[in-house]
Amino acid sequence: MLEIKDLHAQVNGSEILNGVTLRVNAGEVHAIMGPNGSGKSTLAQVLAGRETYDVTKGEVLFDGKNLLEMDPEERAREGLFMAFQYPVEIPGVSNTYFLKSALNAIRKHRGQDELDAIEFLQLVKERMKLVEMDESLLNRPVNEGFSGGEKKRNEIFHMAVLEPRLAILDETDSGLDIDALRIVADGVNKLKRKDNAIIVVTHYQRLLNYIIPDYVHVLVDGRIVKSGSKELALELEEKGYDWVKEKAEVEEAR
C-alpha cells in the first residue's frame, strides 16, 4: 500500500529525514518510535504533503501512485489521513461543517454521492460513539478551546468519519488520560480492516498494548535504525534508545 524508498527531507537547508525506507501493506499496523526530534512528525507531515519540507531525494508510492506529486488534498482524497500531534485550532469553523465538507470532497473524488445534512448527521452520531466523543464538541469551532485530550479524540473522530485507507497517528496517545487512551485505542481497532493500514507514532509502549503492531520501527536522526516485532517496544521501554543509537553508529562506521 505504502512504499517509502530512501526518503530525504530538509527544512531551511538542514536535513531532517536522512534516508527513510519503509513498506506498509494493507492490513498491517506499524509503530514508529524514537527520541524527541528524531523526525517522526516530519515523516508524517511529509507524507501528508506539508510544503514546509523539501523532499531532496527518494520516492513514496501510495498504491503504486507517486504520492509526492500530489497536493495534500489529493492525498486525503486518495485515502491518506494524518492525525496531528498538535491539532490546529480553526476559529469560526464548526467541527461538523468542516467535516461534512471534507467528507463530501472525498466522496466526490471517489465518485460517490455527497451526503445530505440528515445522512451526514446519522453518520456522525454513529461514529461519535466509536470514540465516545462529547456531542458538545460537534458544533464548536474545530479544536478551538478543546482540551489536549479532546483534540486528540477529535482527530480520531475525524478519522472515523473519513475512513482512510492509511492512517498515520502522530502521538495520538499523548494528552489522553488512562480511560480515554483505552477508548480511543478501541475506536482505532474497530476501524481496522483487512484493506486498510495504520502507522502509529508513539513514545509509549502502553498504547501498543491496545493497538497491537505487526512491526515496530525505531527512527533516530531521520533514519530507521532498527525494526522488529512488538517485543522491540518492550525492550525500548526497558532500555531506552541509547543501545539502538550505539548499534546504529557502529553499523554506520562499518
Partner 1 sequence: MKSITEQAAWYQSVFDALEKSLNGEAQSGFHVLRKKALNRFKEMGFPTTRNEEWKFTNITPLATTPFTPVPAGTVARIAPSAVKHYLIPEAHSLVFVDGHFSRDLSTIGEMPDGVIVCSLAEASRRHAALLERELARHAPGEENSFVALNTAFSLDGAFVSIPDGVRLTEPVHMLFLSTGKPQALIPPRNLFLVGAEGQVSLVETYAALNDGVYFTNVVSELLAGEGALIEHDKLQNESRSSYHISWTHIVQQARSTVTSNLVAMGGSIARSNITTVFEGEKGLCTLNGLTLAAGTQLIDNHTTIDHASPHCESHELYKAVLDGKAHGVFNGKIFVRKDAQKTDAKQTNQTLLLSDDAVIDTKPQLEIFADDVKCTHGATVGQLDADQIFYLRSRGLNLLQAKDMLTFAFAADVVHRIHVESLRERLVSLIHDKLHEGRISS
* Binding positions for partner 1, rule: CB under 8 A: 48-52, 71-73, 75-77, 81-82, 84, 87-88, 90-93, 98-99, 101-103, 105-106, 109, 141, 158, 162
Which of ligand ATP, Mg ion, partner 1, none does residue 88 bind (CB under 5 to 8 Å by kind)? partner 1
Residue of 16, 103, 166, 168 interacting with ligand ATP (CB under 6 A): 16
Residue 31 is a binding residue for ligand ATP (CB under 6 A): no
Residue 214 Cβ vs Mg ion, minimum distance, rounded to whole Å: 22
Q: Does 240 bind ligand ATP (CB under 6 A)?
A: no
Stretch that binds Mg ion, among 2-10, 34-42, 215-223, 239-247 (CB under 5 A): 34-42
Residue entry with cell 480515554: 180
* Residue 170 near residue 84, CB atoms below 8 Å: yes
Q: Which residues contact 228 (CB under 8 A, 6 or more apart)?
A: 215, 216, 235
Residue 217: strand pairing partners: 32, 227
Nearest residue to 196 (alpha-carbon basis) of 48, 45, 80, 76:
80
Tell the smallest beta-carbon distance from residue 142 to partner 1 (Å): 8
Distance CA 223, CA 43 (A): 10
171, 84 Cβ separation under 8 angstroms: no
Q: In a 10 Å sphere around its CB, with 0-12 CB exposed, 13-18 middle and 19+ buried, how is residue 66 labelled?
A: exposed
Among positions 18, 38, 45, 85, the unique one binding Mg ion when judged by CB under 5 A: 85
Stretch that binds ligand ATP, among 40-48, 132-140, 156-164, 207-215 (CB under 6 A): 40-48
Among 3, 11, 109, 189, binds ligand ATP (CB under 6 A): 11
* Residue keyed to cell 507514532: 201
Q: CB under 5 to 8 A by kind: which of Mg ion, ligand ATP, partner 1, none does 38 bind?
A: ligand ATP
| Type of residue numbered 35 | P
Q: Is 192 or 206 the residue whose CB approaches ligand ATP more closely?
A: 206
Residue 159, SS3 per DSSP: helix
Interface region with ligand ATP, contact rule CB under 6 A, candidates 33-41, 115-123, 130-138, 223-231: 33-41
Q: Which does 111 bind (CB under 5 to 8 A by kind): partner 1, ligand ATP, Mg ion, none?
A: none
* Ordered alpha helix ranges (H), the chain: 40-48, 72-77, 95-109, 117-130, 148-162, 178-191, 205-210, 231-239, 242-253
Q: Please give the residue ranges that form the binding site for ligand ATP (CB under 6 A).
A: 11-12, 16, 34, 36-42, 52, 85
